[in-house]
Chain A
Amino acid sequence: MKPSNGSMINQRLAALSLAVVLLLAACGGNNPPATSETTAPAADEFSGLNLVVPARYDPPIEMSSVITVDATVKFLGENDIHNNVWTRAYEQLLGIQVSYDWVVDVSMYDQKLGLSVNSGDIPDMFRVTPSQLLLYQEAGLLANLTAVYEAEASAITRDVLTQDPVALKAATIDGKLWGIPLTDASVANASVLWIRQDWMDELGIAAPTSMDDVLEISRRFTEEDPDGDGVDDTIGLCASKSLYGAIANVQGFFNGYHAYPGIWFERDGQVVYGSVQPEMRTALLALQEMYASGQLDPEFGVKDVNAINETIAQGKCGMEFGVWWNPYHPLNLSQQNDPTAFWSAFAIPSVDSTPAKSQYTTAIGSFLVIRNGYEHPEALIRMVNFWTDNLVGSQDEAVRSTFLGNIEAPDVVLYKYTPVLLWEPNAAIKAGNALREALARHDPSGLDLEAQWRYRIIQAYYEQGILEAWVEVATNGPNGSSAILMQVLEDRGLMNRFYGPPTPTMAGKMPTLQSMEEETIIKVIMGESIDLFDQFASDWYKLGGTDIVDEVNQWAANNP
């Protein structure tokens, strides 16, 4: 009968509707996060991996070393620092049985190494600072790696070590290679200018093309209430008392005036110290004026990076000079109080028609060395090759997951189990370029998994309006900060010319001179006469600067 059929349909529809609503509500609710499994390493844990493996020692050789750990080093299952994926790989794949004589917290490393070396208990392979490299080389404790590097280094290892132009130079003494530099992204510490894009849009401000524009933007951000809260509480430019850090520094501002504080660069055939050059005066006067008109934080002289982070989180800061990754921290904090907050990166504008250069310093801070007398110095090069060939030159996800870590256990960072860590200096630039190309052609294929994830996040920002994704847009999106690094690398950067260990006078007097320098800069910005800077420059030379300049120039002559 039709009426009863209709009634049944009605009941079914209602029941189904309810079921669907409940089901979808459940989907949108609390799905438990995936749990990570703790599994014991399989006997054939490397079989099936697409690895590039250097020649294996047969029978295996022994290599003693030392390593640091900290609170972030965690292990799965039966693994520990002496028995983990890296020690097993070295042994099973390379035939190198690595044993650690001691394991200390990173803060204790230099002291412990000094004690070991002094007591004659020198590991076969260990990490040293530039000063230790020089010291131990002069003491004849280190093996000359020139020949083994030439014979054994893979193409990718050579590429990684030459991307930073001073990496190998820094490990070379008297024309011989004494260590393998642990590379990182040097250019990543070059400054870029970060500006609140949403404030610029609100006030109808165009992108800055000169330092005058920067000053004007700063003035308008300070005076025109860009956050629209009706309170005079915004600061044009955030700066930290640390002056030269990665966050809210002032060296980026100085660079706009062709001044390069804290680094050494060549001028008229001589290497000079940037902080005492005349260009500093103009920039200091500009900052002094900004401070006087309230465009800098009144508490600038006492504000450390933590305090700056708070200012940014409160949405009071309009501009800062920082590094390319600042959106990940601390600029992301600005969305805490304003979901529409968005920062854009700009190459440092110039005060005149000559393009400004962003200063940076090499990231080479340590080297891997081999004890003089160790029978297999080439083993270090093979370990380096294993890293670079498989983890820098390849994007194989299974390999990366095995040796670096995976999403199932994000707090277990496997690469911390080995001292052989060489990061590709231009990785951020390459990754950013690949991502931008993929975005331009709307096709993420060809990107590795991590880059594909970034692609989706950027896509979500553009196509779905998810503003929280701005961090990826600002760094790796079109016109993102990693694109500026490319310019810095090409012709918009100035690398610190001095990359050696501290010279004798430098070691003794530079800390005092640096304190004097920072104190002077802060005082002048906060209103003291510019004569104070002139006095500082004069005193700097008198209090040891002249000797340091001589020593640095002598070093430069030996390290062209």
Chain B
Amino acid sequence: MKKKIEKQPLLRKTHLPLYLLGAAMALYGLVSALVWSISSSQAMRGLITAGQLRTRLANFESTGGLITGIVFFILFIWCAVNAKGGVRAAFIVGMLASFAPILAGRAETLLFDTLGLRLPAGSVIAGALSTIVFTLPMMIFFIILASSRRVPRGCRWLAFASIFIVLATAFFPIYVTVLAFLLKPGDPAVGRMLEVSSQVIKLRYLLPGLSLLFLAYISMRFLKEQLSAEAQNIPQEGGPK
């Protein structure tokens, strides 16, 4: 007979760090998408040159990315401190994703200047690197949550869905780029995928951030229900019968 496992909220004392983490991630995603959208729109209309666009985006990514990375890092630690067991492990792994925003504006310099690599499709590879640095830890983070039996069911399902979200927003643009520039250049179908990819890429941080916010909300509701049930002495989901 299998051992009964009592479900627990993601964080013990307060869900504030998870709310803040989700909000920070979503906000960074939103601001990043806005900066890219506004700047690229100006460049496409010829209001700024391609060089000015690149300078602006490089400044945003190096400064904004550094600040965001540090904020993510601190909030992941705060979450890990407030969690226990598998959930804590998940936050510790997720912490590695903090390096992604920092790397975003520096990947090309790191790969091609510091390491001296000479590769074709350099910017695609550099972009893929910072994407993987974000995606891999976040994916493991969500997989751990989705497969942890101590986590409330709602959180597990949301974490499960988030695995798809993280994967899709990360790898679809890379997949399309490889198709467009290496495997099927000129293919009209890939051209349409490129346009979709331009939109999907804007969701890379936004959607996982929203997932974290919902996770925090569901977990907090679970905590409240658990406390309320304890007060009324009603058996809870996964709890002792």
Q: Within the complex, which residue of B149, B164, B183 is in contact with A7, where a contact is CB–CB below 8 Å? A: B149
Q: Within the complex, which residue of A20, A439, A460, A463 is in contact with B167, where a contact is CB–CB below 8 Å? A: A20
Q: Is B121 an interface residue (CB 8 A)?
A: yes
- How many angstroms between the C-alpha atoms of A489 and B191 in the bound complex? 32
Q: Within the complex, which residue of B2, B57, B167, B177 is in contact with A4, where a contact is CB–CB below 8 Å? A: B2
Q: Is B70 an interface residue (CB 8 A)?
A: no
Contacts of B178 in A (CB 8 A): 28
Q: Is A151 an interface residue (CB 8 A)?
A: no
Within 8 A of B (CB), among A331-352: 335-340, 342, 344
- How many angstroms between the C-alpha atoms of A466 and B128 in the bound complex? 11
Contacts of A407 in B (CB 8 A): 186-187
User: B143–A17 contact, CB under 8 A?
Assistant: yes
Q: How far is the CB of B107 from chain A (nearest CB, A)?
A: 10
User: A478–B121 contact, CB under 8 A?
Assistant: no
- How many angstroms between the C-alpha atoms of A337 and B116 in the bound complex? 9
Contacts of A462 in B (CB 8 A): 39-40, 43-44, 50, 53
- B150 to chain A: closest residue by CB: A6
User: B50–A342 contact, CB under 8 A?
Assistant: yes
User: A344–B50 contact, CB under 8 A?
Assistant: yes
Q: How far is the CB of A292 from chain B (nearest CB, A)?
A: 31
Q: Is B156 an interface residue (CB 8 A)?
A: yes
Comparing B18-26, B89-97, B195-203, B216-224, the segment that makes contact with chain A is B195-203
Chain B interface, >50% SS class: helix
Contacts of A465 in B (CB 8 A): 36, 57, 123, 127
- How many angstroms between the C-alpha atoms of A449 and B185 in the bound complex? 12
Contacts of B146 in A (CB 8 A): 13-14, 17
Q: Is A440 an interface residue (CB 8 A)?
A: yes
Contacts of B238 in A (CB 8 A): 2-3, 6
- A458 to chain B: closest residue by CB: B44
Q: How far is the CB of A504 from chain B (nearest CB, A)?
A: 49
User: B180–A456 contact, CB under 8 A?
Assistant: yes
Q: How far is the CB of A231 from chain B (nearest CB, A)?
A: 13
Instruction: Give the 7 A-B CB pairs with smallest separation, nearest first.
Output: A339-B122, A478-B46, A467-B123, A462-B40, A463-B198, A456-B194, A456-B191
With A3-B4, A450-B186 given, can you name 13 additional A-B contacts, CB distance below 8 Å?
A10-B147, A335-B122, A339-B108, A440-B45, A442-B44, A455-B191, A460-B194, A462-B39, A462-B40, A462-B53, A463-B40, A463-B201, A467-B122
Q: List 21 A-B contacts (CB under 8 A).
A: A3-B4, A14-B143, A16-B160, A20-B163, A24-B171, A198-B54, A201-B54, A337-B118, A436-B46, A439-B44, A453-B188, A460-B194, A460-B197, A462-B39, A463-B40, A463-B198, A464-B197, A466-B177, A468-B122, A468-B181, A473-B50
